[in-house]
Amino acid sequence: MMKAKKTNGSALEKNLATLARRAREASRVLASLGTAKKNEVLRAMGSALVRHMDSILEANRKDVALAVKNGLPRAFIERLTLNETRVGEMAKSLTEVADLEDPVGGQIKAWSRPNGLSISKVRVPIGVILVIYESRPNVTSDCIGLCFKSGNAVILRGGSDAIKSNTAVFGILRRVVKSAGVPAEVINLVGTTDRRAVDKLLQMDQQINLVMPRGGEALIREVRDKSKIPVIKHYKGVCHIFVDKSADAAMARRIVLNAKVQRPGVCNAVETLLVHQDIAGSFLPGMIEALREARVEIRGCLRARRIVPRLARATEADWHAEYLDLILSVKVVNDIRRAIEHINHYGSSHSDAIITRDKESAELFLKDVDSACVYVNASTRFTDGYQFGLGAEIGISTDRLHARGPMGLEELTTYKYEIRGTGQVRE
Amino acid sequence: MMKAKKTNGSALEKNLATLARRAREASRVLASLGTAKKNEVLRAMGSALVRHMDSILEANRKDVALAVKNGLPRAFIERLTLNETRVGEMAKSLTEVADLEDPVGGQIKAWSRPNGLSISKVRVPIGVILVIYESRPNVTSDCIGLCFKSGNAVILRGGSDAIKSNTAVFGILRRVVKSAGVPAEVINLVGTTDRRAVDKLLQMDQQINLVMPRGGEALIREVRDKSKIPVIKHYKGVCHIFVDKSADAAMARRIVLNAKVQRPGVCNAVETLLVHQDIAGSFLPGMIEALREARVEIRGCLRARRIVPRLARATEADWHAEYLDLILSVKVVNDIRRAIEHINHYGSSHSDAIITRDKESAELFLKDVDSACVYVNASTRFTDGYQFGLGAEIGISTDRLHARGPMGLEELTTYKYEIRGTGQVRE
């Protein structure tokens, strides 16, 4: 771990350059490490977290005490706080990653050319991944586990409010790596809280291959603007459910309630409900009553407010809003085309659903809604690595390149072409 | 086409924003266009180029005359110049793209979850692609064809020296698109030669999804530094051939000659020859004689110079050099490990080959050389979309994310998840 809290700018840069260069060198060793060895280390990491539970919790108590003293919001402190259960979950995640299939070396496809060349496209690690994140200390062990299994060296830059917790977790895991005979520099934590560190790392495109910022939109945009390194990001989830005229109303009600209420603070929760005008009169009153019973605040368009009295009025800002809260905007639309246009215009290309009994509408929606995950007759809440069966996820991409939607181990790899010949030359 | 040569900065920005927004809207229509219709338009494009041969050649003559007047280098003028054969090839390429399989809608994989959700990962267009290129007018029609077939709207920004040729080609192809009833804005050419246009386009990440700069390294780095939009790029090709101790010497000689001499000015030509010390004494003299007969200038390391007299000395800069010319650097290495280290250190992760009869060495080289294309017993010159059987290529990526190596139609797509349910909600 690099400690450079009090150094000047050029010493900081030199330290970070050394860290990045060593990570790069170590990544080449990790790329060739066998699956069995990687799994052994991952399981040892899980055990070590449990064994050193006390020191992790002690470090965390100091972070939490300082956060309380600094008057940080309750939700923030809640995310920061560790306890035995949470550390146990962190350990379990590492063991679960050991159980997942190793993507490295997997053959994507293979073919032969008329001249006898045999071409094989195989998965390889991306190289060195920089993860920039905020207050949750579990991200430290999660990212270490997923990057390690996919053969990537990782450089972690956590939030300054969690620095003691992150340092404790990282120190324990790094000792495991070291004692397994693997170069310790495959996992790295930027120990300084100097804000210039991120800016400097983002220039090191010779050593670092991918940046994944996790946190608020402002952080992510700043990283994107400054980075010379490719960034995969997740801005926000403005998810929609469109209730088509042919929808099973009971199913629609169940799905909308689930997508809004089950966990409103996450990116795959629904934020806007679109209802076909032909079903709005019969569907909306009961739907809104059910939502209100679940303490959801509703903001409706003019037509929705004609159908249901005492609805707050939705403004243009509402159609863009990711509430992450018990609030839902509701709009009546003329037809499926208008619903699709609304989603493609106001949405964040994350997760959107149609509830319909009409096969043609379902296929039209699947085809024309330009989002990472498009659902027919299911809750948007399924956009998640575990729910998809990917086993674990390092994030959900709202980008279009390299990875879209939930990112599992495969999305942490790239590929190379292996070409085997018998002396072929180009004519 | 946008004309804004004499406008001020804010008018320029407004014009470009309109162009980008319309391209985005048009891209949604193109994304849903059927394969048969797309192929029909591509064939009509090919015919139109041939039919309007005279006007293309006339426009090109003006560009060439100005380039000559401006004293531009002969190689540059050669690349700029069109003739009947070249325009015929441009037309043929469009027809060939029509014959390629449509990647859009293709299913990458599909699976079911225990809760009955059916998940399908399908290929979709990326959206709007900005291509920035230099003097070759054939890039105009090539990029239009490949983007159109893969369902992407394209914004072309060609070099100012080819503006009349590009405008002529573009105008002809756009009329074809329009008369086929497809929104004309699926293909776009930035008509102004105002240098600020590129800077402004690179900020439009809401409308443009991918930037592909094609040209010199300085141009590419500038685009990468300024862009808010993901960039896929190709810096350079510093390709290596390693002749292992167990190599078939005759095969090695044939392959090295081919990779250096057959077309030295391209990115997949070999630039550095590495030779195992055990074979260097017997192999190098004949190899270098053959290269010298082919007018290749050799720059050797100390050990190579001990074996072959009158060799120029290679400096550190030579190991980094992409000569793109009849020059080759030669280095004797202790073993395969040193060869791999040299390649991973000095190479550009483009294309590298081993010549060996030893299966173990071959597999080690394939695994540990960190390049897009790694060859056993074949010339590096095969790194090419046509040679790979991809049908056509829009470029070769030396990046690691999204696309690596030759980029064909598939690499111009991304994917979405289509999830079909029967009322599933998250527990």
Q: Would you tell me which residues 353-372 of chain A have a C-beta closer than 8 angstroms to some C-beta of chain B?
A: 362, 366-368, 370-372
Q: Which residues contact B257 (CB under 8 A, 6 or more apart)?
A: A425, B290, B291, B294
Chain centroid to Cα B365, Å, comes to 25
3-class secondary structure per residue, A249-303 = HHHHHHHHHHHHHCCCCCCCCEEEEEEEHHHHHHHHHHHHHHHHHCCCEEEECHH
Asked if B376 contacts B353 with a C-beta cutoff of 8 angstroms, the reply is yes
The helix or strand, by DSSP H or E, that contains position A341, with its residue range, turns out to be helix A336-346
Angstrom CA distances, A56 to A141, A184, B27, stand at: 12, 20, 52
For residue B227, the model assigns a pLDDT of 94
Lowest-confidence pick of A194-208, A384-398, B25-39, B407-421: A384-398
ipTM: 0.93
Chain A hits for B348, CB-CB cut-off 8 Å, are none
At the topology level, CATH places domain A9-233+407-418 in: Aldehyde Dehydrogenase; Chain A, domain 1 (3.40.605)
| Residue B376 touches chain A, beta carbons under 8 Å | yes
Instruction: State the pLDDT at residue A4.
Output: 45
**DSSP SS3 for B130:** strand
Topology given in CATH for the domain delimited by B239-387 = Aldehyde Dehydrogenase; Chain A, domain 2 (3.40.309)
User: What's the distance, CA B419 to chain centroid?
Assistant: 34
Contacts of A152 in chain B (CB under 8 A): none
- Asked if A128 and A134 touch (Cβ cutoff 8 Å), the reply is no
Q: Is residue B382 a contact partner of residue A117, using CB atoms and an 8 Å limit?
A: yes
How sure is the predictor about B6, in pLDDT bands with cuts at 50, 70 and 90? low
Task: For A406, name the nearest residue in chain B, comparing CA atoms only.
Answer: B417
- Would the CB atoms of B426 and A374 count as touching at under 8 Å? no
The two structure tokens encoding residue B306? 């001990």
Q: What is the pLDDT of residues A125-173, one digit of tens each?
A: 999 999 999 878 999 999 999 999 999 999 999 999 999 999 999 999 9
Taking CB atoms and an 8 Å cutoff, what residues of chain B touch A426?
Answer: 258, 262-263, 379, 381-382, 387
- In the predicted structure, residue B7 carries a pLDDT above the cut 70: no
Chain A positions in Cβ-Cβ contact with residue B251 (cut-off 8 Å): 423
- The answer to whether the CB atoms of A126 and B401 lie below 8 A apart is yes
Nearest CA in chain A to B357: A422
The predicted pLDDT at position B10 comes to 87
pLDDT tens digit sequence for B216-262 = 888 899 999 999 999 998 888 999 999 999 999 999 999 999 999 99
In the sheet with B312-313, reading across from the earlier edge strand, the strands are A107-112, A118-125, A413-424, B373-378, B351-355, B239-243, B270-276, B327-333, B297-300, B312-313
Q: Which two tokens stand for residue A221?
A: 């945009």
Q: Which residues of A touch B32 (CB under 8 A)?
A: 367-368
Nearest-by-Cβ selection for B400 from A111, A127, A374:
A127
Q: Which residue among B344, B388, B423 sits closest to A254, beta carbon to beta carbon? A: B423
Shortest alpha-carbon distance between residue B379 and chain A (Å):
5
Beta bridge partners of A328: A298
Neighbours of B318 (CB within 10 A): 21
Interchain contact B262–A (C-beta under 8 A): yes
| pLDDT of B139 above 60 | yes
Looking at residue B4, what is its pLDDT? 46
Confidence of residue B111 (pLDDT cuts 50, 70, 90): very high
pLDDT digits (tens, 9 = 90+) for A240-256: 999 999 999 999 999 99
**Cβ atoms B379, B353 nearer than 8 A:** yes
HEC string for A170-224 = HHHHHHHHHHCCCCHHHEEEECCCCCHHHHHHCCCCCCCCEEEECCCHHHHHHHH
Tell me: the pLDDT tens digits for B280-307? 999 999 999 999 999 999 999 999 999 9
As a whole number of angstroms, the distance between CA A131 and CA A143 comes to: 8
Whether A401 and chain B come into contact, CB under 8 Å, resolves to: yes
Supply the mean pLDDT for chain B. 95
Verify whether the Cβ–Cβ distance B119 to A232 is below 8 Å. Answer: no
Handedness of CA B37, B42, B47, B52 (dihedral sign): positive
User: Which residues is B112 bridged to in the sheet?
Assistant: B118
Q: What does the pLDDT read at residue A1?
A: 52
Domain boundaries along the sequence of chain B: 9-233+407-418, 239-387
Within an 8 Å CB–CB cutoff, is residue B76 touching chain A?
A: no
Q: In B, which residues are within 8 Å of A230 by CB distance? A: 230-231, 399-401
pLDDT digits (tens, 9 = 90+) for B305-322: 999 999 999 999 999 999
Alpha-carbon distances of B365 from A248, B341, B360, rounded to whole Å: 59, 10, 9
Whole-number Å distance between alpha carbons of B101 and B123: 13
**pTM beyond 0.90:** yes
Q: Which of A237-251, A389-403, B138-152, B335-349 has the lowest mean pLDDT?
A: A389-403
Instruction: Name the stretches of chain A with pLDDT < 50.
Output: 4-5
Distances (CA, A) of A329 to A247, A292, A320, A347, B40: 19, 13, 10, 13, 44
Work out the average pLDDT over B20-34.
96
Please state the rounded mean pLDDT for residues B145-159: 97
Alpha-carbon distances of B200 from A218, B21, B109, B187, rounded to whole Å: 21, 13, 38, 19
Cβ contacts (< 8 Å) between A401 and chain B: which residues?
A: 126, 209-210, 230, 232, 401-402, 414
